Structure 1
Amino acid sequence: MNYQTDVCIIGAGPGGALLAYLLAKQNISTILIERSDELGKEFRGEHLNEDGEMILKKHHIFEEIESLGLLRMSRVEYWKDGHVFKTIESELGHAGIHVPQQHLLQSINNQASIHLSYKLMLGTKVTELMQNEKGQYTGIKAQQKGRGEIIVESKIIIGADGRYSTVRKLAHIKNNIHNHGYDLLWAKIPAPANWEPSIKFSLVKQQQVALFSQAKGFVQIGWNIEKGSYPALRKQSFRPFIQRLIDAFPSLNLSIESFITSWSDFTLLSVQSSISEVWSKHHLLLLGDAAHTMTPAGAFGLNESLKDADLLSDLLHQVFYQNKKISETLRQFEQKRKPELITLERIQFQREKEFSSHFISS
């Protein structure tokens, strides 16, 4: 089956979904393609900062997300020897907002679906990029569950399909990967009674442990470990390892004992940052993690993908309503955003380097 559209977006994560909505709202025909069978599969980075919050409010999406459920964290705390010793209160009234990915994407899709110029294709895996005789990308071939091969002809292709982007690989765009020296163990446990929403940090064996309060009464644990050390770590006794977490945050004792009982209760995230060598190429553009993968430090990833979508929707309006050239516009996006992301990557390296200084007595 063949489809034709102005813009084909691959990847229905926050950046891709928001861009699809903002384009459809401008009556720019948009097809949003997602490999998974449903929106909102579990995602680790679900925290909004002031930039992400502002964009969602600007486009009148925040209110619906709030009705579905989100959580404002009251402050940032630094813990040592099982006690809080430093607290930072935010001037914004919160230190971050946890927004479940499912609530975010559901809210965006609900508003996008109102527009006839929007089409969402789930269960669809891109297999090939199509090009014309000039080398310009003109569409994609994909396998759709229950339908077989489909073709989408498009004036612009957006790869918003994450850190392991298929679009980036098919377009032969080099991805420059930077090692930060650590990996991350994730776990999620129920919050104990009377748990006050906050971000909590501790230093355990010279490695960062972070607790993020989540909507619906959960606490997300992020525990830094030395890069590549997890296979050797799993061969060690689990009990002494988990006791360090209990010692760092004693109020989580019962929840940890009940819900983290073996190594399998952790999920390993290989931590790296990357910035693709080019973001735009022959009417194709990379967006979000496909162009610039961030580490968890500072929780920038989600918010930067929303900023990408916000800016790009304005620029593409000029293409379809002011006859601005596609290649020029996509390069303009890259020239605007790329320096900002390079700076953010430096900030992440600096924050990671300086983290232990918070625990030095003055």
Structure 2
Amino acid sequence: MNYQADVCIVGAGPAGALLAYLLAKKGLTVILLEQNAALGQSFRGEHLNEEGEAVLKNHHLFEAVESHGILRMEKLEYYADGNAFKTIFPDEAVGHLGIHVPQAHLLKGILQNTRPFPNFTCLLHTKVTKLIVDTSGHYRGVIAIKNGNTIKIDSQLIIGADGRYSTIRKEAHIDVQKQKHGFDLLWAKIPAPSNWEPSIKMALIDDKQLSLFTQVGGYIQIGWNIEQGSFPQLRKQAFTPFIQQLTTQFPLLANTVQEHIQSWKDFVLLDVFSSHCDCWGTQGIVLLGDAVHTMTPTGAFGLNSALKDADCLASLLNKDTLAQFNVQDFQQMRKQAIEEVLAKQIEKEQTFASNFINKAS
């Protein structure tokens, strides 16, 4: 089967979904491809900051997202020896210290607004395998597999919004520079106790960051930094002393941790790295979000930077400008801001332990 579109967006994460809506609203013919069979199946960042919130509100999308369920963080606490020794509350004008938005809620809230547009198509369970390139070296579309069948999509512009292991980036031979940060991350999710307040809680264990993020639906997301590459060796050690470090810092979680984190298998390992591309696209291709600048989980900047990318790129594209679009204009708009965020992440990682130097005894 063959399709034609002004723009083919690969990856229905936050950046791809938002860009698809904004371009379809402008009247461009948009095809959005997602390799998973349902929206929100790939784990991505789920915390909005003020910048991401502002993007959604500027496009009158925030209320739709909120209707599916969000949770505003009411405080940030630093813990030592089982007690909070420092608490930070939000600025009254902001009203939160971050907003938890489940990935599926965010995507549904955005894409439900595309229903009135006959010029928008979303194809799930569709994996891009190859780029179509003409004799002049200009990329003209993609070949993909949908439900076992090969399809072809011709488009004037291909958007790579397909994450940190981007197929579009790889197939277009765009170089990426990766940087390790000295740690990996263990994720786990547990039910929150009934009296648990919407909050972010931080602790320091063996000079590594331990973070708890309250989530929609009465859950807590645990993010536990460990030494880079140490998990294979860590798994050979006894599990109980390791997990007791968590319950010592947060005694209120003892029962739910004991019930829901019983072995190393209850953790998911995230290989932590940041990356950036010196080239954000080429003839007929643009990269955005994690495909062009992967961020670490520190500070929850990735989701918000991706939304900002989509917002800026959409401002440059319409029916009249599509043929003359220059990816360097987009790169110049966003490059400095992204460099500043990546630098801020490194600073936060290097100075995290300083929050505990003068902790209360």
Is TM-score (shorter-chain normalized) higher than 0.5? yes
Alignment of 1:1-362 (within 5 A): 1-91=1-91, 92-146=94-148, 148-317=149-318, 320-322=319-321, 325-326=324-325, 328=326, 330-361=327-358
> Counterpart of 1:87 in 2: which secondary structure?
strand
Q: Which amino acid aligns with 1:81?
A: D
> Counterpart of 1:292 in 2: which secondary structure?
coil
> Counterpart of 1:321 in 2: which secondary structure?
coil
- Closer/same/farther in 2, CA of residues 254 and 323 from structure 1, 3 Å limit: closer
Q: Is the 8 A contact 1:113 1:119 kept in 2?
A: no
**C-alpha distance in 2, partners of 1:44/1:187?**
14
Identity of aligned residues (%): 53
Q: Which amino acid aligns with 2:238?
A: S
**C-alpha distance in 2, partners of 1:11/1:193?**
37
**C-alpha distance in 1, partners of 2:332/2:44?**
29
Q: Which amino acid aligns with 1:35?
A: Q
Q: Which amino acid aligns with 1:83?
A: N
**C-alpha distance in 1, partners of 2:99/2:150?**
40
**C-alpha distance in 2, partners of 1:186/1:325?**
44
Q: Is the 8 A contact 2:290 2:306 kept in 1?
A: yes
Query: Could you tell me how far 1:323 is from its partner in structure 2?
Result: 6.6
**C-alpha distance in 2, partners of 1:41/1:324?**
34
> Counterpart of 1:90 in 2: which secondary structure?
coil
**C-alpha distance in 2, partners of 1:353/1:116?**
49
Query: Could you tell me how far 1:51 is from its partner in structure 2?
Result: 0.5
**C-alpha distance in 2, partners of 1:96/1:261?**
30
- The one-character-per-residue Cα deviations of 1:189-216 (angstroms, maximum 9, x if unpaired) are 0000111111100001111000000000
> Counterpart of 1:293 in 2: which secondary structure?
coil
Gaps of 5+ in 2: none
Q: Which amino acid aligns with 1:107?
A: G
Q: Is the 8 A contact 1:273 1:294 kept in 2?
A: yes
Query: Could you tell me how far 1:324 is from its partner in structure 2?
Result: 6.5
**C-alpha distance in 2, partners of 1:343/1:233?**
34
The range that moved more, 339-348 or 11-20, is 339-348
Gaps of 5+ in 1: none
Q: Is the 8 A contact 1:191 1:217 kept in 2?
A: yes
- The one-character-per-residue Cα deviations of 1:284-321 (angstroms, maximum 9, x if unpaired) are 0111000000001110000011001111111012xx23
Query: Could you tell me how far 1:42 is from its partner in structure 2?
Result: 4.8
Q: Is the 8 A contact 2:156 2:323 kept in 1?
A: no
Q: Is the 8 A contact 2:183 2:225 kept in 1?
A: yes
Q: Which amino acid aligns with 1:136?
A: H
Q: Is the 8 A contact 1:312 1:333 kept in 2?
A: yes
**C-alpha distance in 2, partners of 1:87/1:122?**
43
Query: Could you tell me how far 1:57 is from its partner in structure 2?
Result: 1.1
Q: Which amino acid aligns with 1:117?
A: N
Query: Could you tell me how far 1:142 is from its partner in structure 2?
Result: 0.7
Q: What's the C-alpha RMSD, in Å, of the aligned pairs?
A: 1.1
> Counterpart of 1:184 in 2: which secondary structure?
strand
Q: Which amino acid aligns with 1:68?
A: H
- Closer/same/farther in 2, CA of residues 159 and 47 from structure 1, 3 Å limit: same
- Closer/same/farther in 2, CA of residues 149 and 208 from structure 1, 3 Å limit: same
- The one-character-per-residue Cα deviations of 1:250-284 (angstroms, maximum 9, x if unpaired) are 11111101100000000000000000131110120
**C-alpha distance in 1, partners of 2:14/2:353?**
32
Query: Could you tell me how far 1:349 is from its partner in structure 2?
Result: 0.6
